[in-house]
């Protein structure tokens, strides 16, 4: 894990492999961002001109490397683009800082230590730079030679090991707290990414539950794991039905964090399909290579609960991980089977590839029994949501308009792209079943909303609920950008942590 500290050092004398400065896109060309004054001075105040000569514009994500000025201990200067220069008297947005820090950290993979001289006008800026840098410095090499033997990178560069933030106030409480928070959130988020990226032959429901159990013990979180026997005894027909085709049995994990003086209780429910082959309604080749990512919702919930505990937030958070592997076999659920769910409702399974809603239905009903102040579920639920919103934005649905707005605003606040989606009543009848109380599929059009309507049926009466369909942004198959790597992204973790903070502050309805 990358180490990060606030440093009082000045850029010239600092021993590091590189110094990072910010460059923004000004009206007349690139402008050097605040924080880099000492560096600019060493170039006689002409760093912007030097960068322009090198072709830099200050565009978001742009990275320009140049030799550090004479007299600097660090050999390399990295100028990272912040995007458009803010208007007069306004500051760089937290997200611009996060993305720039992330891009710089990625560009420095293979280096040991870097100093970041980015704008740190406020404590929150230090939090944003720290978060971006720590998230950008992520790499997953557990299955590569360098990751296996811990030696020098052979087929991949080791992530930046050490980061010093320059220009902040290392003795100021607010700055220190912002960095502590960034460390807790980023480390847990990176752990969620590790889980998502772990191949499904090594992360089945039992293995995921064991990881959760160990982390819970370390962080003072109460944990209960229901195995297949307990699930059968409890009548969890949805989770068992989805897991029936797999040689690896399903699990339902409950994580309870009760913060000091907690007044509010949030429940987070995560879809944890450790591999989604589609089951008997098998996915065609080309649609299952990335389906290890189908436990991203559970990974996000797990990370958020652990982060809340590390931060000792004064709130109660219950995390539910609905873990199963969706496989075809002689014991698998068939299209046409009827499952009796934990809620008592019966579901006709028309398509075994619509499995996420089945495991979530049981977990939502179980979570509802505690009567939390609100439930938020997170799931890589539908391809339809990807068609609607693309692969960087998750959809937010809810049974309460004000709560949906609050969740959307919370996501925006932490720099996660989300968008509100409706739950149109007329789509409900498409799930009417001649045999059971409801079918697990409805109309094709609006498939993401149909899934949301299905879930709504399994939320306890009178409980505020929101559903995040993260199928698009959960797994990045394209090139890395900002602080987002290839592979598992850890999307929704930061929104969940912020929701817990808002609930703790009594600022969530
Ligand atoms: N896990 C998939 C959704 C998904 C697709 C996530 C692509 C990430 C990337 C989900 O279980 C699924 O298969 N959904 C079906 C539902 C349909 C059968 C009603 C879908 O979206 O096609
Ligand atoms: Mn599926
Ligand atoms: Zn799935």
In a domain, 52, yes or no: yes
Count of beta carbons in the 10 Å neighbourhood of residue 70: 8
Full 3-state SS string of 409-460: HHHHHHCCCEEECCCCHHHHHHHCCCCCCEECCCCCCCHHHHHHHHHHCCCC
- Other CB atoms within 10 Å distance of the CB of residue 54: 12
On whether both 343 and 459 belong to a single domain, the answer is yes
Q: Which domain holds residue 327?
A: 190-504
Q: What is the pLDDT along the chain (509 residues), one digit of tens a residue?
A: 899 999 999 999 999 999 999 999 999 999 999 999 999 999 999 999 999 999 999 999 999 999 999 999 999 999 999 999 999 889 999 999 999 999 999 999 999 999 999 999 999 999 999 999 999 999 999 999 866 655 555 557 899 999 999 999 999 999 999 999 999 999 999 999 999 999 999 999 999 999 999 999 999 999 999 999 999 999 999 999 999 999 999 999 999 999 999 999 999 999 999 999 999 999 999 999 999 999 999 999 999 999 999 999 999 999 999 999 999 999 999 999 999 999 999 999 999 999 999 999 999 999 999 999 999 999 999 999 999 999 999 999 999 999 999 999 999 999 999 999 999 999 999 999 999 999 999 999 999 999 999 999 999 999 999 999 999 999 999 999 999 999 999 999 999 999 999 999 999 97
pLDDT tens profile 83-109: 999 998 899 999 999 999 999 999 999
Instruction: Check whether residue 297 and residue 232 sit in a common domain.
Output: yes
Residues 308 and 212 in one domain: yes
User: Do 195 and 149 sit in the same domain of this protein?
Assistant: no
Q: How far apart are CA 397 and CA 374, in angstroms?
A: 13
Ligand 1 pocket: which of 297, 384, 471 to mutate (most atoms within 8 A of CB): 471
Is the CB–ligand 1 distance for residue 441 below 6 Å? yes
CA torsion angle for 39, 42, 48, 51 (degrees, to 10)?
-90
- Please report which residue ranges of 198-311 form alpha helices under DSSP H: 205-218, 228-234, 237-243, 296-310
Strand partners, 272: 323
Kindly give the distance from the C-alpha atom of residue 35 to the centroid of ligand 2, in angstroms, as a whole number: 48
Length of the chain: 509
For residues 361 and 342, the answer to whether their CB atoms sit within 8 Å is yes
The reply to whether ligand 1 has any atom less than 6 angstroms from the CB of 382 is yes
Q: Are residues 221 and 257 in the same domain?
A: yes
Assess whether 257 and 327 both reside in one domain. Answer: yes
Tens digit of each residue's pLDDT (9 = 90 or more) over 255-301: 999 999 999 999 999 999 999 999 999 999 999 999 999 999 999 99
- Same domain assignment for residues 444 and 298: yes
* pLDDT (0 to 100) of residue 147: 64
Our answer on whether the CB atom of 469 is closer than 6 Å to any ligand 1 atom is no
- Phi, psi at residue 489, to the nearest 5°? -105, -25
Residues 425 and 494 in one domain: yes
pTM (global) more than 0.95: yes
Mapped onto helix, strand or coil, the DSSP state of residue 253 is strand
In a domain, 214, yes or no: yes
| 63 in any annotated domain | yes
Same-domain status, 43 and 133: yes
CA of 226 from ligand 3 middle (Å) equals 21
Helix (H) or strand (E) holding 51: helix 47-53
Give the pairing of strands 76-84 and 63-67: antiparallel
How far is ligand 3, taken at its centre, from the CA of residue 184, in Å? 29
Instruction: Transcribe 58-87 into DSSP letters.
Output: --TT-EEEEEPPTT-SSSEEEEEEEEEPPP
Q: Is the CB of 353 under 6 A from ligand 1?
A: yes
Q: Is residue 179 part of a domain?
A: no
Cα 307 to Cα 201: distance, rounded to the nearest angstrom: 27
DSSP annotation of 293 reads G
String of DSSP letters for 296-343: HHHHHHHHHHHHHHHTT-SSEEEEEEEEEEE--STTSPPTT-EEE-TT
Q: Which of 124, 152, 167 is the last residue of a domain?
A: 167
Q: Are residues 116 and 253 in the same domain?
A: no
Q: Determine, yes or no, domain membership for 182.
A: no
| Ligand 1 within 6 A of CB of 380 | yes
Number of domains in the chain: 2
Element (H, E) at 189: helix 173-197
CATH of the domain at 137: 3.40.220.10
Residue 204's H or E segment, with its range, is none
Exposure letters 449-473 (e unless 16+ CB within 10 A, then b): bbbbbbbbbbbbeebbbbbbbbbbb
pLDDT at position 149: 57
Indicate the SS3 state at residue 223. strand
Helix (H, G, I), strand (E, B) or coil at 465: strand
**Three-state SS annotation for 107-132:** HCCCCCEEEEECCCCCHHHHHHHHHH
192 in helix, strand or coil?
helix
Q: Which of 135, 167, 199 is the last residue of a domain?
A: 167
Residue from 354, 387, 453, 477 whose mutation best tests the ligand 1 pocket (most atoms within 8 A of CB): 354
Q: Are residues 127 and 246 in the same domain?
A: no
Give the residue from 107, 134, 167 where a domain finishes: 167
Q: What is the pLDDT of residue 369?
A: 98
Residue 225 lies in a domain: yes
- Alpha carbons 318 and 241: distance in angstroms, whole number: 24
> Nearest residue CA, atom 3 of ligand 1?
382
Question: What pLDDT is recorded for position 386?
Answer: 98
| pLDDT for res 156 | 72
> Within 10 A of 64 (CB to CB), how many other CB atoms are there?
20
pLDDT given at position 157: 85
Q: Quote the ligand 2 centre to 444 CA distance (angstroms).
A: 14
Residues 30 and 76 in one domain: yes
- Evaluate: CB of 136 within 6 angstroms of ligand 1: no
Would you say residue 106 lies in a domain?
yes
Strand order of the β-sheet with 346-348 is: 338-340, 346-348, 438-439
172 domain-assigned? no
CATH number at residue 262: 3.40.630.10
Q: Which of 381, 420, 423 is nearest to 403 (CA)?
A: 420
For strands 394-398 and 465-469, give the pairing. Answer: antiparallel
């Amino acid at each position: 894990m990358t180490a990060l500290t606030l440093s009082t050092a000045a850029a010239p004398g600092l021993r590091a492999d590189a110094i990072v400065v910010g460059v923004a896109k000004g009206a007349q060309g690139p402008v050097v961002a605040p924080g880099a004054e000492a560096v600019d001075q060493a170039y006689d105040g002409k760093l912007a001109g030097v960068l322009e000569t090198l072709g830099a514009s200050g565009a978001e994500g742009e990275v320009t490397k140049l030799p550090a000025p004479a007299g600097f201990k660090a050999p390399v200067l990295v100028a990272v683009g912040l995007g458009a220069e803010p208007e007069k008297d306004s500051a760089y947005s937290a997200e611009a800082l996060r993305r720039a820090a992330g891009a710089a950290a990625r560009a420095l993979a293979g280096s040991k230590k870097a100093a970041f001289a980015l704008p740190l006008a406020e404590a929150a800026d230090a939090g944003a730079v720290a978060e971006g840098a720590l998230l950008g410095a992520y790499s997953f090499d557990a299955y590569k030679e360098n990751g296996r033997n811990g030696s020098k990178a052979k087929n991949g560069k080791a992530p930046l090991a050490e980061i010093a933030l320059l220009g902040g106030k290392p003795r100021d409480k607010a700055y220190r707290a912002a960095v502590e928070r960034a460390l807790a959130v980023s480390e847990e988020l990176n752990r969620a990414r590790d889980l998502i990226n772990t191949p499904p032959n090594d992360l089945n429901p039992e293995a995921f539950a064991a990881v959760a159990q160990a982390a819970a013990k370390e962080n003072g979180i109460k944990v209960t794991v229901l195995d297949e026997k307990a699930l059968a005894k409890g009548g969890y027909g949805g989770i068992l039905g989805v897991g029936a085709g797999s040689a690896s049995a399903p699990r339902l994990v409950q994580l309870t964090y009760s913060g000091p003086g907690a007044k509010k209780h949030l429940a987070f429910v995560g879809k944890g399909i450790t591999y989604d082959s589609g089951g008997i309604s098998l996915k065609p080749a080309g649609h299952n290579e990335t389906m290890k990512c189908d436990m991203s919702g559970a990974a996000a919930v797990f990370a958020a609960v652990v982060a809340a505990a590390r931060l000792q937030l004064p709130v109660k958070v219950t995390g539910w991980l609905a873990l199963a592997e969706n496989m075809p076999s002689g014991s698998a659920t068939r299209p046409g089977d009827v499952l009796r769910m934990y809620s008592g409702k019966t579901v006709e399974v028309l398509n075994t590839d619509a499995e996420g809603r089945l495991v979530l239905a049981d977990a939502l009903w179980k979570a509802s029994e505690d009567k939390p102040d609100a439930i938020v579920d997170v799931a890589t639920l539908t391809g339809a949501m990807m068609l609607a919103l693309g692969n960087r934005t998750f959809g937010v649905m809810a049974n309460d308009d004000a709560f949906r707005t609050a969740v959307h605003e919370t996501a925006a606040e932490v720099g996660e792209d989300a968008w509100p989606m409706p739950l149109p009543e007329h789509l409900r009848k498409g799930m009417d079943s001649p045999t059971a109380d409801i079918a697990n599929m409805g109309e094709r059009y609006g498939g993401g909303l149909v899934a949301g309507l299905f879930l709504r049926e399994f939320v306890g009466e009178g409980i505020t609920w929101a559903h995040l369909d993260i199928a698009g942004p959960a797994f990045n198959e394209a090139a890395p950008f900002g602080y987002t790597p290839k592979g598992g992204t850890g999307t929704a973790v930061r929104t969940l942590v912020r929701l817990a903070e808002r609930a703790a502050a009594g600022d969530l309805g």
